[in-house]
Structure 1
Amino acid sequence: MALKPEPTAPFHSVQYALRVLESVSKCGTGVTDTQIGRDTGLPAAHLSSLLLMLRREGYVEQVSDGAYVTGDSLVLLGSGATREAALAAKLRDTLTRLRDSVGAAVYISRYIDGEVRVTQVADGPLTPAVQEWVDFRSSAHASAAGKCLLTQLDHNGRRDHLSRHKIARLTSRTITNERVLFSRLDSQPATVPMLDIQEYAVGTVCAAVPLTAGSAVGCLALSLPIEHAHRLRSAAEALNRQAAPVVLSLTI
């Protein structure tokens, strides 16, 4: 698998969050936000929002004197024997809350051994998952998640993928020309969600944003039935804003 030399969408807030967690972890008896600010060099407003997110996710806790200590989530994710189960539970919880927040089914997709794989899904009666009428592995050129993953590969990586999964017309909106597809992928801004307006399936719209966690190629996606298409852009922007907890749980 060939990757682009630079990450497509670095989540700077995750990098800063890791610095905050390092500051908190160094002091077992608790550390004030003032000290964390000195350790990390973060402005007070930015630090405040990060601490709020880290408390909500259970990575830090605030004790009676206002100091911050390591939270249960960080303890569980840091222990070898239970790390895998704790990570799975943490991802389920984070995705469920994200599903409820954006009002759409949400997914984590990875590019593993040359294939598109949906590894986690959070859906529900009011937020149905997209019906996989064509194998996701064969439809990366059409789905938001697949295109988002392809943007994170270099030209040779994309050509290799499409040599094994030929471009097929799935709907009248599907891009079937490789040159046009590559041009669309190259022009996609890293910070803007990738959209799929009935390219994969008639009656479904989707959006996806990259998950930058180390060298892994992944994305966070959502889907909506066509009758909720008017909410797609706002839901996609919310997905992008709220991706940091997902990246953080994959990074720790």
Structure 2
Amino acid sequence: MPPEPHPTTLIGSVQRAMRLLEAVAAREQGAPAKQLAREAGLALPTAYHLLRTLAHEGYLRREKGLFVLGEAAERLSSSGAQQKRRSTMNDALAQWRDSIGVPVYYATYRDGEIEVICVADSPASPAVEEWADFRETGHAHAIGQCLLSQLDEKARKDHLDRYPVQSITPYTVRDSESLRRRLERAGRLEPVIERQEYALGTVCAAIPLTVGSCASTMAISLPSHQADRLLPAVRQLQGEIGRLLGTLAVSISI
């Protein structure tokens, strides 16, 4: 078994490669190897070897003698921005969970599917257990009903053709026509209220969000014996969202 490379050699190579990546990122139109070597403080043969390696791995690409960022580097940048947005959203949900005293959910409708992105709950205020797939039972819970109410007729029909209305509890809406009438009555900015339609012993409310290009919602849930808290709590959440709308604007697309 060959000996492992000396750690300082590996670290030095990574440092030099990172300096080159930073130099390329600073040049929107790209730059030639000689210029990048000079800006990174590297000998040209060393720089050229690293540039070729980075290009081979997809972190850079060469166009007409100029090196520009490649797809792999762009994916890293996108992933980092997405993680930052998700962290911002998680922090906001945790803050609202603590100030209102309820579990808080954020969900979107993306690529034809209901997707719960973030949930903030606590041992004292646990989230609803997903005992039936949220994606398949959107007609039965406040999150799904709120998202479906924001779709156009064609997209809504497509969703319900794939996930037909079915009884989840004795309180679930009975058929697609009854659901359609309910969704059409939903106010554009009004909370959607659901009582024990998805989970017995639980009431939920969801708020439609108009920030971003896809249908989104914030929701809360409570035990049914605390149903009198539901409407005041969701109104409080609406106020909190309004105050932090600037933060949400950069986080909503996660």
- Mark yes or no: TM-score above 0.5: yes
Larger radius of gyration between Structure 1 and Structure 2: 2
Normalising TM by the smaller chain, what interval?
Answer: 0.5 to 0.7
CA apart distance, 1:82: 4.7
How many angstroms apart in 2 are the aligned matches of 1:102 and 1:82?
30
Matched position secondary structure for 2:116: strand
Moved more, 233-242 or 80-89: 80-89
CA apart distance, 1:83: 2.9
2:31 alignment partner in structure 1: none
The aligned runs of 1:12-91 (5 Å cut-off) are 82-91=80-89
How many angstroms apart in 1 are the aligned matches of 2:92 and 2:145?
24
CA apart distance, 1:214: 2.4
User: Judging changes above 3 Å, is the alpha-carbon distance between structure 1 residues 160 and 124 closer, same or farther for their aligned structure 2 residues?
Assistant: same
1:223 alignment partner in structure 2: 221
Percent identical across equivalent pairs?
41
How many angstroms apart in 1 are the aligned matches of 2:163 and 2:92?
32
How many angstroms apart in 2 are the aligned matches of 1:213 and 1:177?
31
How many angstroms apart in 2 are the aligned matches of 1:176 and 1:108?
26
Letter in 1 for 2:206: A
User: Judging changes above 3 Å, is the alpha-carbon distance between structure 1 residues 177 and 246 closer, same or farther for their aligned structure 2 residues?
Assistant: farther
**How does the TM-score come out when normalised to structure 2?**
0.65
User: Judging changes above 3 Å, is the alpha-carbon distance between structure 1 residues 105 and 81 closer, same or farther for their aligned structure 2 residues?
Assistant: closer
User: Judging changes above 3 Å, is the alpha-carbon distance between structure 1 residues 138 and 230 closer, same or farther for their aligned structure 2 residues?
Assistant: same
How many angstroms apart in 1 are the aligned matches of 2:119 and 2:152?
27
CA apart distance, 1:199: 0.7
Task: Answer 1 or 2: higher relative contact order, Cα 8 Å, separation at least 6.
Answer: 1
Q: 1:141 aligns with which of 139, 142, 166?
A: 139
Cα deviation, 1:222-249, whole Å, max 9, x if unaligned, reads 1111221110111111122222356433
How many angstroms apart in 2 are the aligned matches of 1:245 and 1:121?
20
1:181 alignment partner in structure 2: 179
Q: 1:113 aligns with which of 111, 114, 128?
A: 111
Cα deviation, 1:179-201, whole Å, max 9, x if unaligned, reads 11111111111222101110111
CA apart distance, 1:159: 0.8
Note if contact 2:201-2:224 (Cα within 8 Å) is conserved in structure 1: yes
Aligned residues: 174
User: Judging changes above 3 Å, is the alpha-carbon distance between structure 1 residues 192 and 124 closer, same or farther for their aligned structure 2 residues?
Assistant: same
- The reply on whether 1:167 has 2:193 as its aligned counterpart is no
